[in-house]
Amino acid sequence: MEISKCNAEIKQLIDEHKLDDALAKVEEIIASGCADDMTYYFRGNAYRRCENWKGAIDSYTQAIEMNPESPAVAARTMVISILEFYNTDMYNH
């Protein structure tokens, strides 16, 4: 199957909140050696939705290494911003 069709299937699974199925499909594609930067980007999105922050950052980083223009650049920056954010006032309650 063509990688763009596989990536579209992964995106659809993520959009339908079928994250385990999406991650299984990603791992299948990676194992076959056909993964591209978008495959890793979508894996990062699935991990992000599962709140697996390390998995998301690692996946986005792999996508960026393959394609520095990848949408994973913005996604990785967003995840890091989320993790760096904290509200010290919340600790006083």
User: Looking at residue 70, which CATH number applies to its domain?
Assistant: 1.25.40.10
pLDDT at 93 > cutoff 80: no
Give residue 78's domain range.
3-92
The Cα 1–Cα 73 span in angstroms is 27
**DSSP per-residue letters across 57-75:** HHHHHHHHHH-TTSTHHHH
**pLDDT tens string 25-63:** 999 999 999 999 999 999 999 999 999 999 999 999 999
pLDDT at 91 > cutoff 60: no
Total number of domains constituting the chain: 1
**pLDDT tens string 10-21:** 999 999 999 999
